[in-house]
Amino acid sequence: MENQKTCPSCGATFPAETKFCTCCGTRLPDAQQPEPVKMMFCFNCGAKIPADAAVCPSCGTPQKLKNKRMRRQHPGLKRAVAAVLAVAALAGCALGVRTLIGKGGKTADYIVYAKDGELMYSSTKKLEPIQLTKRLCTDGRDNIDFEYFGDIVRVSSDGKKILYPDRCAEGSGVTLYCRDLSRNNTEPVKIDTEITEFYVAKDFSSVHYLKGDDGLLYRYDFKEKEKIASGVQDIYASEDGKTVVFRNDSGNAYYKRTGKDKEKIGRADWLNQVSADASSVIYTGEDGAFYRWQKDAGRSKLPIEGYIEYLNTDGKGFISNSNEPDVISLTDLIVDDMVETDAGEMPAMAEPHYSDYENISDYEKAYEEYASQKESSEAKEYREYLRSAAVNAYSSTLFYFDGEQTIELSDSVFNVWGSAEDELGILYTEYNTDDPTLKISEIPTGRDTSSILDDVKKELVYARGDQLYTVAEVGNLSRAGISGDGTMLYYLYYDEDQVGDLMKAKITSKGVEEPELVDSDAAGAMCVRNQLYYYKFTEDDEVELYCDGLLLDKDVNSRTADDTHGKLAYFADWNTNRDEGTLKLTDGKKSVKVSEDVSSFIMTPNGGLAYLTDYSRSREEGTLYFYNGKKSVLLDSDVEYVYYPRTYYYCYCGHIGY
């Protein structure tokens, strides 16, 4: 299919922007980048991705496809995150991500939910529900896609203004309204109809938006509406709401400041990154090269090519280029410790037949000897095959770009595990074939040769700028990551006995300290505010939750978790038949029971919990409570859906389909 890659090892298909196969870890070959027609932000990590992406290529989180027919969904409240310790993101920072609402200070804490087919709002301070919409779906209540409409809601950091959809019908985009929450019974302001995507200013003083299938770009300051352009496909607006950068269907990119004429940036196939004030733009030109355009300085060609792993607003960061696959003989990757054993001929032995023996014990003994010899013979044949086999090793070359020139860091990168934006750091593994340690006797008979590369030891490396620090040499690495502030890294690998060892190391101004063992038998890990959460499976297949070596809880439902403000919320004692469990909250030191019989929950922007109990499958309704860290308070009954708060200034509304 077009705009897809196929893994050369296992045959799985992925979007064209995917770099590594998530099934077997193989580096995927380069593919032509698809033309970005409609975009959205991943609701989990904030990466700007194609609107029809099923999975975010940055963090791997499944996305909701808006054009699918969707009814009201059981259990009525979207579970906050699909996995309690999700697989770490492959490539660190997303390009072009808007700043979070309220970043740098405390933001408004609120809950948005659906009741009787309409959107409701409540501040967690007053806990007084307000009905926002009058007729959310003009096509009829049964067609409401609750999950879709709630994703569009945006609340200002001071909690005084809210943007939300109302009176929407099947077709392109939504009808968007703005309401002043600081005044009682104020009439909402209608912004426009058929809005397909928008940016709201940081102070909610204006909105840039695209309208209809023709890509009409407008700016509205709640007094006057200004039409800026038509045929627009991609937009980025500044935090102050006074500047917009956009690209039209002719491939021209422009910069437009309110009250000023638009300025042409250049011919662009892709807008890679726009600074928060929209004064600096990094884009891909028609020739495939990267360019940086700066207000009052014009455009300059960047001496980089390949895939941008991360670039900051100063144009510094990390770039990777996929290499042609290396055909490597397996004898260069393994230690042949069975040469002498395999030198002799295996004695021929026929399969014994029961009729040839006088008693069953003699037959069983003979058959055991035959089976053992057959297994040894098959293992020998497989080893002979390995001695002549070769594998395709997919790798990339990683560069550091200091704003002026590129500096090669490694030409044999196997995987990029994450980056630290503040420190210009990146964590990756690279092949090391100079000193093989994997023994041929350790390879299971019949194993796919392409997967043997997973067990080959690789060097885990942390790069801060162009300074390289080798963390460890490990094989069978399951996952690795780095804290957002760049002060800690962790990795999980399986040793020769298939025991998962979880390690962590501090990152200082002098480099990376010696890694230390956090725990063994770990099955997954994630970093939350420099705390390392992970879980283990018991002999009874129950899940135990840990943080930095401390057992927090048992019988944890590993499929539901959320974290914010250094906290982790999760389910324990999950009842599969009733589809509910006990909701708990932890700070990494101790866990607190919030409530029993909870069907699902979300975390509010400031770390509270909104959750549904007593959910009825037949009525598709439950009772909504809010937990403020000390006690739970009843908020409303007969609630159909509660929405995870969307705290990015950007929103993709797309096409309403039923």
pLDDT digits (tens, 9 = 90+) for 112-128: 999 998 999 999 999 99
Query: Between residues 222 and 311, which one has the greater pLDDT?
Result: 222
Q: What percent of the chain has pLDDT over 70?
A: 81
pLDDT of 50 > 90? The answer is no
Q: Name the band, by pLDDT with cuts 50, 70 and 90, for residue 104.
A: very low
Name the residue with higher pLDDT: 648 or 658.
Answer: 648
Q: Where residue 30 falls among pLDDT bands split at 50, 70, 90?
A: low
d(CA 31, CA 49) in angstroms, rounded, equals 16
Residue by residue, what is the 3-state secondary structure of 502-532?
A: EEEEEEECCEECCCEEEECCCCEEEEECCEE
Helix (H, G, I), strand (E, B) or coil at 406: strand
Query: At residue 361, does pLDDT exceed 80?
Result: yes
The CATH-assigned architecture of domain 396-627 is: 6 Propeller (2.120)
Query: What pLDDT is recorded for position 539?
Result: 84
pLDDT above 60: residue 618: yes
Q: How confident is the model at residue 59 (pLDDT cuts 50, 70, 90)?
A: very low
Q: Domain spanning 110-308+649-656 has what CATH number? A: 2.140.10.30
Taking residues 508-529, report their average pLDDT: 91
What would the pLDDT profile of 8-18 be if each residue is shown by its tens digit?
Answer: 655 666 666 55
Give the per-residue pLDDT at 67.
31
Q: How much is the pTM?
A: 0.77
Q: What is the mean pLDDT of residues 505-512?
A: 94
- The two beta strands, 252-257 and 263-274, are antiparallel
Instruction: Please say if the pLDDT value at position 32 is more than 60.
Output: no
pLDDT digits (tens, 9 = 90+) for 550-593: 999 998 986 555 666 778 999 999 998 888 999 999 999 999 99
Question: Looking at the predicted structure, is the pLDDT value of residue 136 above 50?
Answer: yes
Confidence (pLDDT) at 505 = 96
Residue 26 has pLDDT above 60, yes or no: no
User: pLDDT confidence of 70, banded at 50, 70, 90?
Assistant: very low
**Which residue, among 398, 426, 392, 425, has the nearest Cα to 411 in the 3D structure?**
398
pLDDT band at 348 (very low <50, low <70, confident <90, very high): confident
Of 282-296, 551-565, 640-654, the least confident: 551-565
More confident residue, 277 or 93: 277
Q: How confident is the model at residue 95 (pLDDT cuts 50, 70, 90)?
A: very low
Q: What is the pLDDT of residue 42?
A: 54
162-166, 351-355, 467-471, range with the lowest pLDDT: 351-355
pLDDT digits (tens, 9 = 90+) for 188-206: 999 999 999 999 999 999 9
Which is more confidently placed, 265 or 340? Answer: 265
**487-505: burial string, b at 16+ Cβ within 10 Å, e else:** ebbbbbbbeeeeebbbbbb
Asked if residue 21 has pLDDT above 70, the reply is no
Residue 184 neighbours by CB distance under 10 Å: 7
Model confidence over 458-499: pLDDT tens digits? 899 999 999 999 999 988 888 999 987 889 999 999 876 677
Provide the pLDDT for residue 183.
84
CA distances from 538 to 84, 205, 519, 547, 584 (A): 17, 54, 14, 16, 20
Residue 36 has a pLDDT of 36
Q: Pick the residue with more confidence: 183 or 610?
A: 610
Q: Could you list the beta-strand ranges (E) of 286-440.
A: 290-294, 298-301, 307-311, 317-322, 326-329, 334-335, 390-393, 396-401, 406-420, 425-431, 438-439
Q: What is the pLDDT of residue 56?
A: 54
| Residue 232 contacts residue 210 (beta carbons within 8 Å) | yes
pLDDT at 571: 93
Burial 347-368 (b: 16+ CB within 10 A, else e): eeeeebeeeeeeeeeebeebee
pLDDT averaged over every residue in the chain: 82
| Residue 561, pLDDT score | 59
pLDDT at 456 over 70: yes
In terms of pLDDT, which residue wins out, 356 or 246? 246
pLDDT at 150 over 60: yes
In tens, the pLDDT along 564-574 reads: 677 899 999 99
Tell me the backbone φ, ψ of residue 366, rounded to 5 degrees.
-65, -40
Higher pLDDT, 231 or 67: 231
The reported pLDDT for the residue numbered 87 is 26
| The predicted structure's pLDDT at residue 542 | 87
